[in-house]
Amino acid sequence: MGTLARWARAEWGPLCVAVREPLVERRLRALPMTLAAVCLTALLQYVQNRPWGFQAVQDLGAVRAEDPLWAALLRTPLSLFVPALDLPVWGALAQILFVFGIAEACLGWWRTLVIAYVATLAGTLYARAGIVLGPHAPFGLPWTDAQVVDTGPSAAVVGLAVFASWRYGAYVTTGAVTVAMVVEVLVKENLAGKEHLAALMAVGMLCLAVAVRHRYGHGPHTCLRLRVRLRLWLRRYGHWRPGSRTGRGSGLPPIQS
């Protein structure tokens, strides 16, 4: 038990601290976007289950691969909060409240929305590419999937879970979510499962971009560091001499020996 507890603290400790601090300080005021998303999802579920509201929700938030691209892109943001008709709504509400809440507390509301949208958009665009590839390609889809209504927060939830876990060092959790999505596709190969993999790939690219940004720094000091490194490299390999165009005449700062 002691070993397991130490592992849990090492795995989730930084993430728990990042989530707990804003909740202790501001309570529910720390999660305005998450609460708004839960309310919006519940409202859309109520409306789409009424005869007078079903078509309106479909026109505003239902995405299909057979739709024109411009229409799909306009509907994609709202489609994130439209619960799938064949799944219980409490699942979507619980996903948003738990995963969006954690992400908003530790990443901020605007980063949470950006990552959620990137993951959802990746799934939407993948569906079109998969239809073009066809059912016999490794990542292809049958043409019947072009008519499937693609809504719900699942792709965004997967993307946010991976990004937040990775950002705060919960690498085992990141790997577990990734493996679960791969197993989902292997066990039940369908549009939703493959869209989750597309969302993982898109968020993985975001993680890589953040890692590179932190590795090489940011802001006005980045250019200075790169220029100094260039001069060191040129000096080491004999292509730079004091007073040359890449030396004093270039405006680079002098290097103290």
3-state SS of the chain is: CHHHHHHHHHHHHHHHHHHHHHHHHHHHHHCHHHHHHHHHHHHHHHHHCCCCCHHHHHHHHCECCCCCHHHHHHHHHHHCCCCCCCCCHHHHHHHHHHHHHHHHHHHCHHHHHHHHHHHHHHHHHHHHHHHHHCCCCCCCCCHHHHHCCECCCHHHHHHHHHHHHHHCCCHHHHHHHHHHHHHHHHHCCCHHHHHHHHHHHHHHHHHHHHHHHHHHCCCCHHHHHHHHHHHHHHHHCCCCCCCCCCCHHHCCCCCCC
Residues 40-61: what's their mean pLDDT? 94
Residues 20-43: what's their mean pLDDT? 92
pLDDT band at 253 (very low <50, low <70, confident <90, very high): very low
pLDDT on residue 233: 56
pLDDT on residue 245: 45
pLDDT > 90? residue 68: yes
pLDDT on residue 202: 95
Per-chain mean pLDDT for the chain: 85
Residues 192-213: what's their mean pLDDT? 91
pLDDT > 60? residue 248: no
pLDDT on residue 190: 85
What pTM was computed for the model?
0.81
pLDDT on residue 33: 95
